[in-house]
A and B are shown apart, each in its own frame.
Chain A
Amino acid sequence: MNNTPLPKDIPLDLPLPEWLLVILLVVSFLAHIVFVNLMVGGSIATLWAEIKGLRNKEYDILAQEIAATITVNKSLAVVLGVAPLLSINALYTIYFYTANSLTGIMWILIIPMVAIVFLLTYLHKYTWEAMANMKLLHIAINALAVAMFLFIPLIFLVNVNLMLFPEKWMSVRGFLSALALPNVFPRYFHFICASLALTGLFITWYMGRKNYPFEEYFQVFTRAKVKRIGYQLALGASVAQFLFGPIVMATLPAKGFSWSMMSVILSGVAVAVYAVYYMIKTLRGSDADLNKYFRRIVISMSIVVVFMGSGRHVYRANALNPHRELMAQKTAEFEQASKEAREQALNKQAEANEAIAAAEASGDNTAKGKAVFNNYCAACHKETSLLVGPPVTEMKEIYTDKKADLIKWIKSPGKKRPDAPQMPPFPQINDTDMEDLTQYILNIK
């Protein structure tokens, strides 16, 4: 049963202590994913509100207000994505790049797809008034953007999932087969629900702010109404997580589980229950009390995010550490073998030099030149027969007593024989080597 590859690692030290890299990775990833959540969730919420806006103008205004935030959130999502990318590349080079390679076409398509979906969101945002009479088309632009926003995270998920399972690499043939690994979709829905939950809280905050000129935009809707919409979205999505969370756990391969991981995840769940409780309480309370538990909910949800992000990392570390340990040993073995081979080659070189010295001592003054010739010219020239270019004997015929011309040819050859290809120039041969080389050519027998 040979099916788990064990490549060697990049043989350079990590740029900083591993624990520090891990912290950087987890923290920067969370910052990135929050904005990704807001971007994806925001575009879904916009679509929903704009469709409702066909009948009720107020929803259209709501849609426009949410849409205004997407382009800012998306810019932050991208720039904040670079740091975790950098860190995961450094920490898990072999795993991450292998997953990228095995799903290569889809992986590289992320670039044009994200650029296009961003352009679509700008188009959607800046044509709101201009396309007021083509509402369906305007909605269609956003629907296309939402479809792409829903698809792109799937590519990332497939990659960060595939990298965890070297034992699966050999069975993967392209993106679709990596997509079919059992735990991809549960993780995906988990992510989508998280996006909606965060977006709900974001809407509540953004439109409930004191310096947000709510009354300038809306005629009928009250702040309380919009805040309730936000809370409802957050609550619904959070409750759904209690369904998807266990499915994710059930479909994750056992190898990354440990008590430490479970305790991190379960602590997160406990805090989530607390947050959900206060969301329900808020929704059942009066309009005047809509802000009462807001901070509490946001803080506890942030804690949930940190716990889930950490649990995710603990799983990854558990899943990969044994393999990484073996890989480090293998890399060290390779380095050792490489070093020995280098020394061996140096010795051989020294022997060859001695042989040349011996030949010269016995009166043969072409030995050195022959070595130069073998190095640079033997690919295309033989001593007495035609290879790619003419034989050395023919060179001697042409250039006897014309050493300077020969050197000139070697440094920048012309074009003579009609069916021969162009000979490459050799400006890099230094003067002493050139002296030896021509000595050899012009003295060939």
Chain B
Amino acid sequence: MDFPLFHLDWLNDRFLIAMIAIIHVFINHGLAVGFLPYITLLEQQGVVKSGPEDITDLAWDKMVQRMMMVGFVITTTMGAMTGVGIWFSAALISPNSIGSLIRVFYWGWFTEWIVFVSEVVFIMIYFLTWKNSNKSLRAKQRHIRFGWFLSAFSWLTMAIIVAILGFMMDPGNWVEDQSLLSALTNPIYLPQLLFRTPTAMVVAGAFGFLLIMLFTKKDSPIRPTALKTTATWVLLWLPMSILASIYYYNVIPEAMTANMSTAVGTMDFAKYYDLLKYIILIATSSLALLAIWTLWKPKKVNLIIVIIPFVLSLGFLGIFERVREFIRKPYVIGNYMYSNLIREEDYPLLQRDGILKHSTYTSITEITEENKLEAGKDVFMIACSRCHTSQGINSIIFVFEKMYGEGKPLDINSMKAYIPNMHNGRTYMPPYPGNEEELDALAHYIFYLQQSGATLEGAQSAGAHLNPTHSVEHFIEQKTKQQ
């Protein structure tokens, strides 16, 4: 309405956001929040296990430093950029919601940013001073203390960003008094934090297993010790992670839970539930098995049995993120803005007048027989394109054919009967925002899409059309008339 809309017509717009966000969470949790305390612990262990004359066990320390180097390089490149990428992608796809969130959360984000700058600077200091700190025991101890401090810091970064994420899922009292503080005390906050903290530690352990295998030789004496420390670390955090994930899952408000069936694309509710349980079960138990096996037979650990739980634990984290991304449907900002970027409170106006009348970027001022398809396309772009494509992932043809029969020509009247009630039937979709004529145009357009196999270009390639009643010139003309 207020923006020319970017649209990825095959990949699906939500998919883009989800992909970037999930990579970011892997890196942030696995290689920063959980990783820093884990690495510091290993560094400290090197000092403890070295002889009384040595500062640290040098071979061990070298291994830990190389592990940290992986964390350092990845967090300061892909980690930092996917963090920025969440913004970029969300602003492209949901400009109104990000624009609104920034106005409400400016100070929240500003604080988060200060913490983030400090975090990156501290990580640089920690990593880049590693070599020099090996010159004296005091310097080494200072370095380790700094590592603990850094761990606390990066946890704090997460604690702040989780507040913002939590808010988007459940707005608490924000809509009433629109202030930052009320948004921060929303009910989903603590459960999320409780979930993310131990899970980050566990995922870091999974990364640790992998890196130890890569950076130590098969018969090296430090390998079994390092693996055993990692196994203990994982076993310590794993039960907390499991308990917290159950708790987190249970507090997600009921209506939102009902939407979770859509979180893994097209699967049915029951199937999805099984899948989630399955993945949690398999991922956590495979990690637990690996850890126990390591403690029992540390010399018999090989790369393959390390990689499998690693991949599964990423899957575990990924599926929770994906669920989080989806459970706030139909809202992008709970009870305030729907994911079609329309505010709940503007619905009466738009349903009365039509959405095109209030849209800046459409060439249609009045729907006629001739421009019906064009109008339908614009309605689709505004009302459906944030979640549906024309022919790609979660395409509008696919979802209608699933209801009315695959391959059969869609019935325009049935679609017209369905769409105004789609929110009641499927609560994860926002209510249909437009008026009668637009509904007719939309249904015709969907039928046309099915028959022609046509696709829909976003503003990034097709540019935008201007509604002549939404131009500066028109606005001034109206004002002149009023005088």
Contacts and interface: CB of A to CB of B under 8 A. Distances in A.
A376 B421 contact: yes
Contacts of B314: none
Interface in B234-289: 254-255, 258, 268-269
A415 B232 CA distance: 48
Interface string B78-104: 101110110111011001101110111
B110 A89 contact: no
B3 A111 contact: no
A179 to B, nearest CB: 14
A341 B77 contact: no
A288 interface: no
A19 to B, nearest CB: 15
Contacts of B343: 11
A330 B80 contact: no
Contacts of B117: 79-80, 82
Contact of A82 (B5, B113, B418, B463): B113
A130 interface: no
A100 B91 CA distance: 8
Contacts of A119: 73, 77-78
A247 interface: no
Interface stretch (B293-301, B372-380, B402-410): B402-410
Contact of A428 (B1, B81, B427): B427
A376 B414 contact: no
Contacts of A1: 473
B352 A169 contact: no
Contact of B360 (A6, A101, A341): A6
A113 to B, nearest CB: 9
B43 to A, nearest CB: 21
A358 interface: no
B159 interface: no
Nearest to A374: B421
B23 to A, nearest CB: 10
Interface string A93-106: 11001101111110
Contact of A122 (B77, B85, B102, B128): B77
Interface string A173-184: 111000000000
A404 interface: no
Nearest to B78: A115
Contact of A6 (B1, B346, B426, B472): B472
Contacts of B113: 79, 82-83, 86
A421 B116 contact: no
B372 to A, nearest CB: 22
A388 B465 CA distance: 37
A102 to B, nearest CB: 6
Chain A, interface size: which category?
35 or more
Contacts of B81: 78, 111-112, 114-115, 118
B460 A388 contact: no
Contacts of A16: 106
B4 interface: yes
A2 B91 contact: no
B360 A342 contact: no
B471 A102 contact: no
A75 B103 contact: no
B455 interface: no
Contacts of A7: 1-3, 360-361, 470
Given A4-B471, A6-B470, A428-B427, A421 B404 contact: yes
Interface in B420-466: 420-422, 424-427, 458-466
- Describe A's contact surface by its main secondary structure: helix
B402 A421 contact: yes
B176 interface: no
Nearest to A12: B103
Contact of B461 (A83, A174, A424): A174
Interface in A418-443: 419, 421-422, 424-428
B50 interface: no
A165 to B, nearest CB: 12
B418 to A, nearest CB: 5
B84 A111 contact: yes
A35 to B, nearest CB: 12
B367 interface: no
Contacts of B100: 10, 12
Given A104-B92, A108-B16, A89 B3 contact: no
Contact of B258 (A3, A89, A101, A427): A427
Contacts of B421: 375-380
A319 to B, nearest CB: 13
A337 interface: yes
A266 to B, nearest CB: 31
A387 B417 contact: yes
B401 to A, nearest CB: 10
Interface string B23-40: 000000000000000000
A107 interface: yes
A390 to B, nearest CB: 14
Interface in B347-397: 348-349, 352-353, 358, 360-361
B107 A424 contact: no
A89 B404 contact: no
A157 interface: no
B349 to A, nearest CB: 4
Contact of B418 (A174, A329, A337, A388): A388
Interface in B91-146: 91-92, 95-96, 98-100, 102-107, 109-110, 113, 116-117, 120-121, 124, 128
B302 interface: no
B73 A122 contact: yes
Interface string A1-26: 11111111111111110000000000
A105 B417 contact: no
A94 to B, nearest CB: 7
B95 A101 contact: yes
Contacts of A361: none
A351 to B, nearest CB: 14
A378 B420 CA distance: 9
Nearest to A104: B460
Interface in B327-355: 343, 345-346, 348-349, 352-353
B120 A75 contact: yes
Contact of A388 (B89, B403, B424): B403
Contact of A379 (B268, B404, B418, B458): B418
Contacts of B215: none
A279 to B, nearest CB: 31
Contact of B472 (A11, A323, A334): A323
Interface in A364-421: 375-380, 387-388, 419, 421
B360 A5 contact: yes
Given A79-B116, A101-B3, A379-B425, A10 B89 contact: no
A4 B473 contact: yes
B466 A170 contact: yes
A7 B405 CA distance: 41
Given A80-B117, A98-B4, A388-B403, A345 B348 contact: yes
Name which of A102, A379, A388 has the most chain B CB atoms within 10 A of its CB.
Answer: A379
28 contacts: A7-B361, A8-B360, A15-B102, A15-B103, A79-B120, A82-B116, A90-B103, A100-B95, A101-B5, A101-B459, A102-B460, A102-B463, A104-B6, A107-B92, A110-B88, A111-B88, A173-B461, A174-B461, A330-B475, A340-B349, A342-B349, A344-B352, A379-B421, A387-B414, A388-B403, A388-B404, A388-B417, A425-B258
Given A86-B109, A345-B348, A428-B427, 4 more contacts: A79-B80, A115-B78, A338-B345, A379-B425
Interface of A: 1-16, 71-72, 75-76, 78-83, 85-86, 89-90, 93-94, 97-98, 100-105, 107-108, 110-112, 114-115, 118-119, 122, 166, 169-175, 323, 326, 329-330, 334, 337-338, 340-342, 344-345, 375-380, 387-388, 419, 421-422, 424-428
* 9 A-B pairs with the lowest CB-CB distances in the bound complex, closest first: A104-B460, A379-B421, A15-B106, A341-B349, A345-B348, A111-B85, A118-B77, A97-B95, A104-B6
